[in-house]
């Protein structure tokens, strides 16, 4: 079942985010976001964005997005248990939501070294549109 995240579930999501994403960040050579920082980010954005979970005997996956005019910016998606189709179910939910709201585009950012995520999004029909550049100081 897909349902909205409650404010009280944010610590649970932040805890699992840190566990799961720590390895992902290290794979691409980036500094991971801590549980506490991610919890603050989610709480700050809770009211002005959309956060949903896929639940089946507990929360299995999380998605967070922001609707801006006729586009959706996907902020986060992750599965607590990998390769079970939970992320795909949430993405299909998001695509259906976008169609109902007459959204023209869903945007998402993926680190270029994250081949697993790139494959996942491309398998859903996402295409590369822009390149984001950074200059570290």
Q: Which residues constitute the domain of residue 67? A: 2-123
Kindly state whether residue 69 falls inside one of the protein's structural domains: yes
Q: Name the DSSP letter for residue 61.
A: E
Kindly state whether residue 131 falls inside one of the protein's structural domains: no
Kindly state whether residue 107 falls inside one of the protein's structural domains: yes
d(CA 125, CA 127): 6
Kindly state whether residue 49 falls inside one of the protein's structural domains: yes
Total domains in the fold of the chain: 1
Helix (H) or strand (E) holding 98: helix 86-100
CATH number for the domain harbouring residue 72: 3.40.630.30
- Give the tens place of pLDDT for each residue, 30-84: 888 899 999 999 999 999 999 999 999 999 999 999 999 999 999 999 999 888 9
Kindly state whether residue 129 falls inside one of the protein's structural domains: no
For the entire predicted model, the pTM comes to 0.89
The CA dihedral of 127, 94, 63, 113, to the nearest 10 degrees, is: -10
- Please state, in angstroms and as integers, the Cα–Cα distance from residue 134 to each residue in 111, 121, 131, following that order: 12, 22, 10
């Amino acid at each position: 079942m897909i349902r909205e995240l409650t404010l009280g579930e944010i610590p649970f999501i932040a805890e699992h985010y840190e566990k799961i994403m720590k390895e992902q960040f290290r794979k691409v050579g980036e500094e991971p976001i801590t549980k506490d920082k991610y919890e603050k980010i989610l709480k700050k954005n809770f009211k002005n964005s959309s956060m949903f979970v896929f639940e089946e005997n507990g929360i299995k996956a999380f998605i967070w997005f922001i609707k801006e005019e006729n586009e959706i910016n996907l902020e986060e998606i992750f599965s607590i248990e990998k390769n079970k189709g939970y992320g795909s179910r949430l993405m299909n939910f998001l695509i259906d939501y976008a169609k109902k709201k007459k959204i023209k585009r869903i945007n998402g950012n993926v680190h270029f070294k994250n081949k697993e995520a790139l494959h996942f999004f491309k398998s859903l029909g996402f295409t590369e549109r822009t390149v984001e550049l950074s200059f570290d100081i």
